[in-house]
A and B are shown apart, each in its own frame.
Chain A
């Protein structure tokens, strides 16, 4: 039995691909095909059976971050052009969905803040003196009587 072996390779290649978004499409495809061929060749030539051996192959290839960094370097692309996703996100809903949720959350937070400010301004302008003073810690009274120097 070969538990999850195709998944492990697929996951690895996907993690590399995620980090190559700043590269031209054909260069991305080329690198992924090269890596896939490398893994397939290694598995055949080393007669890999266990998942542990497969992991060793992937470790020798290098982490997706390292491989992607080399790809940018060799492509001559400015490394800053590709925003790198956080390393190894295990479960991923589609990125568009996630982005949408973030925007929604940000917008609703802004609206809430705006409303809150409005309410506070309205209230404080009606109440006269701002209640801010109450929150300020009162200055502690000076010690009752400092030991006066004896003449």
Chain B
């Protein structure tokens, strides 16, 4: 798949991961890297988390872990939440259009 499309959508997968609960970096990174389709190496997700934080879509704070080194927890900010909501709407119509044009829609 085109890497631009992949990269453009990966950040919303990140936002969705912390929609309901805060998660720490390693947790997010591991989960996304498990998805073969996304083709994201673990180490490349940290710069993405950094950009989302600098852009105000994510918040982060370091916290002690019960067992092991400190963890950096990420949470969704209000503007992150609205960016995610906006993406959901856009994505559905985008997907439908592409399906219609490329002929990948469900067989009726």
The yes or no answer to B48 lying at the interface (CB within 8 A) is yes
Tell me whether A34 and B72 are in contact in the complex, defined as CB-CB below 8 angstroms, given that A41-B26, A42-B26, A60-B33 are known contacts. yes
Tell me whether A62 and B42 are in contact in the complex, defined as CB-CB below 8 angstroms, given that A31-B50, A70-B47 are known contacts. yes
The yes or no answer to B67 lying at the interface (CB within 8 A) is yes
The yes or no answer to B69 lying at the interface (CB within 8 A) is yes
Question: Is A66 in contact with B43, judged by CB distance below 8 angstroms?
Answer: yes
Question: Is B41 in contact with A66, judged by CB distance below 8 angstroms?
Answer: yes
Q: Is the interface of B mostly helix, strand, loop or mixed?
A: helix
Question: Is B41 in contact with A41, judged by CB distance below 8 angstroms?
Answer: no
Tell me whether A73 and B47 are in contact in the complex, defined as CB-CB below 8 angstroms, given that A41-B26, A41-B69 are known contacts. yes
Give Cα distance in the complex from A55 to B71, angstroms: 21
Interface residue range, chain B: 20 to 34
Q: Which residues of B contact A67 (CB under 8 A)?
A: 41, 43-44, 46-47
Question: Is A37 in contact with B69, judged by CB distance below 8 angstroms?
Answer: yes
Q: Which residues 54-88 of A sit at the B interface, judged by CB distance below 8 A?
A: 60-62, 66-67, 69-71, 73-75
Given A34-B49, A41-B25; 6 other pairs, CB 8 A cutoff: A37-B25, A41-B26, A41-B69, A62-B41, A67-B46, A69-B44
B residues apposed to A, CB below 8 Å: 7, 24-26, 29, 33, 41-44, 46-51, 65, 67-72
